């Protein structure tokens, strides 16, 4: 039987007939058949054939507290019965939205005291993008509108999100980026560092920002955005010299620094926020994903006092918002999620216990002949596959390489993600030591499989 005539479950057939998936080639997907995930518990998901997988990716970087937490379901049910919806547009709020803003502010640092709610990370991107521009306009600098982002960054899939992101293959669809967005290079030492040391390269990559500001004119630049660690781009951990230099440049040139915390926020790096790990103070910080551990959709922008003061005193109406901004049920789920993270000490656990344990296992893979580097901070790991360790040479078709390893892992009950020739891990913050061992062992087998079949991939 060929792929297309393979019998599909009824649901897969319905899916093929009606459901368009995000970031997917629907022709290929329908031919192969969709995998149907039916239930989950802890770090494990189960598909409709009953096969069990360790989800080393926490859904999509988001299920920080793991699956199957009844506490969230109970809180959501109560909130649904009490008040399923009300808006925050016309001088009203709901208790969960207000309390969630307070809770986020309590962890975000002394100068980050306000939150604007959205339903996703992409909407958070669109929100800060407008905020940065209205901030400068309100201060009497209407030409400060341009935003600088990075190649291979990811900030969502709306028009502003895809424009600010540095994915060429996204720009090609929809005539992007929009005007007013510029990109600089990324701090990806392994691929682009050449003969420089990581520290030297980190400075060089950061100083591209300075050069870009000069090129555009400081009076025309509103903000710079970056993820503390690029997630979708391949878990690119920047050299230590990078972030302090970025912060220095933003300050010296008087442009807003936006730290995209959609992945790094809420404990993944062993800190509440990624900017805290790197010791920088952003002006705006979009969040989503781990805010509710994905149990319900919610995002937001954490706003520094510097920006909030202008919004509170100079701006007048901010003509922006979403029907579901601060949705009470989603906010209640997020509040309960943050309560669990606090009560179980998950941020500290990642910093002091399971993060270091994961790191040891992850880095042990560097003895493999195909592994160029294995880097992580907390429970966010990136592993670079190389055709030649000494020269950092890469296989000719990086996408095929990562896919081969990922598929081998999947067949052996492990969900990982691949970006090109990098393998990515981002498990729930609740993962146990033996489950970490399972990730490392299965990934090693995937790498062995690639080694044993490498003649197909030169």
Q: How far is the CB of 457 from ligand PLP (least distance, A)?
A: 28
Which one, 333 or 447, has the nearer CB to ligand PLP? 333
Binding mask 156-195 for ligand PLP (x = CB under 6 A): x---------------------------------------
Reduce the DSSP state of residue 248 to 3 states and report it: helix
Number of DSSP helices (H) and strands (E) in the chain, helices first: 18, 15
Spatial distance between the Cα atoms of 405 and 416, rounded to a whole number of angstroms? 9
CA atoms within a 13 Å half-sphere pointing along the CA-CB vector of 300: 31
DSSP letters of 10-44?
HHHHHHHHH-PPTT--HHHHHHH-PPPEEEEEBTE
Q: Residue 177 is encoded by which pair of tokens?
A: 């980026």
346 contributes a contact to ligand PLP by CB under 6 A:
no
Spatial distance between the Cα atoms of 298 and 362, rounded to a whole number of angstroms? 31
Of positions 58, 100, 256, 262, contacts ligand PLP by CB under 6 A: 262
Residue nearest to ligand PLP (CB): 121
Residues from 106 through 125 that contact ligand PLP (CB under 6 A): 120-122, 125
Which one, 209 or 264, has the nearer CB to ligand PLP? 264
Give strand pairing partners of 182.
Answer: 148
Of positions 154, 201, 278, 295, contacts ligand PLP by CB under 6 A: 154
Which of 429, 417, 432, 121 lies closest to 268, judged by CA?
429
Which one, 103 or 417, has the nearer CB to ligand PLP? 417
Q: What is the DSSP letter of 181?
A: E
Residues from 189 through 228 that contact ligand PLP (CB under 6 A): 227
Of positions 132, 263, 365, 387, contacts ligand PLP by CB under 6 A: 263
Q: How far is the CB of 4 from ligand PLP (least distance, A)?
A: 31
304 contributes a contact to ligand PLP by CB under 6 A:
no
Please state whether the peptide bond connecting residue 177 to the residue before it is cis, i.e. omega within 30 degrees of 0: yes
150 contributes a contact to ligand PLP by CB under 6 A:
no
CA atoms within a 13 Å half-sphere pointing along the CA-CB vector of 138: 19
Which one, 231 or 446, has the nearer CB to ligand PLP? 231
Which one, 33 or 185, has the nearer CB to ligand PLP? 185
DSSP letters of 88-137?
SSSS---HHHHHHHHHHHHHS-TTEEEEEEESSHHHHHHHHHHHHHHHHH
Query: Of the ranges 128-136, 140-148, 255-263, 379-387, which one interacts with ligand PLP (CB under 6 A)?
Result: 255-263
Which one, 243 or 395, has the nearer CB to ligand PLP? 243
**First-to-last C-alpha distance (Å) of the chain:** 30
Total residues contacting ligand PLP by CB under 6 A comes to 15
Within 10 angstroms of residue 272's Cβ, the number of other Cβ atoms is 23
Spatial distance between the Cα atoms of 256 and 273, rounded to a whole number of angstroms? 18
Q: How far is the CB of 249 from ligand PLP (least distance, A)?
A: 21
Which one, 126 or 421, has the nearer CB to ligand PLP? 126
Query: Of the ranges 108-116, 260-268, 301-309, 386-394, which one interacts with ligand PLP (CB under 6 A)?
Result: 260-268
Spatial distance between the Cα atoms of 423 and 266, rounded to a whole number of angstroms? 22
288 contributes a contact to ligand PLP by CB under 6 A:
yes
Spatial distance between the Cα atoms of 124 and 328, rounded to a whole number of angstroms? 18
231 contributes a contact to ligand PLP by CB under 6 A:
yes
Which one, 170 or 216, has the nearer CB to ligand PLP? 170
Q: How far is the CB of 32 from ligand PLP (least distance, A)?
A: 24
The site for ligand PLP (CB under 6 A) is made up of 120-122, 125, 154-156, 227, 231-232, 260, 262-263, 288, 299
């Amino acid at each position: 039987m060929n792929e297309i005539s393979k019998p599909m479950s009824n649901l897969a057939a319905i899916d093929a007939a009606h459901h368009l998936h995000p970031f997917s080639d629907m022709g290929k997907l329908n031919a192969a058949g969709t995998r149907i995930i039916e239930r989950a518990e802890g770090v494990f998901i189960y598909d409709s054939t009953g096969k069990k997988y360790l989800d080393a990716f926490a859904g999509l970087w988001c299920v920080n507290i793991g699956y199957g937490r009844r506490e969230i379901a109970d809180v959501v049910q109560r909130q649904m019965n009490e008040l399923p919806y009300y808006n925050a547009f016309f001088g009203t709020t709901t208790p969960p939205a207000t309390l969630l803003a307070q809770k986020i502010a309590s962890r975000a640092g002394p100068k980050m005291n306000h939150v604007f709610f959205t339903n996703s990370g992409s909407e958070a991107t669109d929100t800060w993008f407008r905020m940065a521009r209205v901030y400068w306009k309100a201060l009497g600098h209407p030409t400060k509108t341009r935003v600088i982002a990075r190649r291979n960054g990811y900030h969502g899939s709306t028009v502003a999100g895809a424009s600010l992101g540095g994915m060429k293959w996204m720009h090609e669809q929809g005539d992007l980026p929009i005007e007013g967005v510029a990109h600089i290079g990324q701090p990806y030492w392994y691929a682009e560092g050449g003969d420089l040391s990581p520290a030297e390269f980190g400075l060089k990559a950061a100083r591209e920002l300075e050069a870009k500001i000069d090129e555009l004119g400081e009076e025309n630049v509103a903000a710079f955005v970056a993820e503390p660690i690029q997630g979708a781009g391949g878990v690119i951990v920047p050299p230590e010299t990078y972030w302090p230099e970025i912060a220095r440049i933003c300050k010296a040139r008087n442009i807003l620094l936006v730290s995209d915390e959609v992945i790094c926020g809420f404990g993944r790096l062993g800190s509440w926020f990624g900017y805290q790990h790197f010791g920088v103070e952003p002006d705006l910080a979009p969040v989503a994903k781990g805010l509710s551990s994905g149990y319900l959709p919610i995002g937001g922008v954490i706003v520094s006092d510097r920006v909030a003061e202008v919004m509170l005193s100079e701006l007048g109406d901010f003509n922006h918002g979403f029907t579901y901004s601060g949705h009470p049920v989603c906010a209640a789920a997020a509040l309960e999620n943050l309560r669990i993270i606090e009560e179980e000490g998950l941020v500290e656990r990642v910093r002091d216990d399971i993060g270091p344990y994961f790191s040891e296992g992850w880095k042990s893979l560097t003895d493999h002949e195909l592994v160029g580097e294995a880097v992580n901070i907390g429970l966010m790991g990136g592993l670079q596959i190389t055709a030649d360790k000494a020269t950092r040479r890469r296989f000719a078709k990086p996408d095929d390489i990562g896919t081969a390893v990922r598929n081998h892992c999947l067949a052996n009950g492990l969900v990982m993600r691949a970006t090109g020739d990098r393998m990515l891990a981002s498990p729930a913050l609740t993962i146990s030591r033996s489950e970490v061992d399972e990730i490392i062992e299965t990934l090693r087998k995937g790498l062995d499989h690639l080694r044993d079949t490498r003649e197909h991939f030169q």
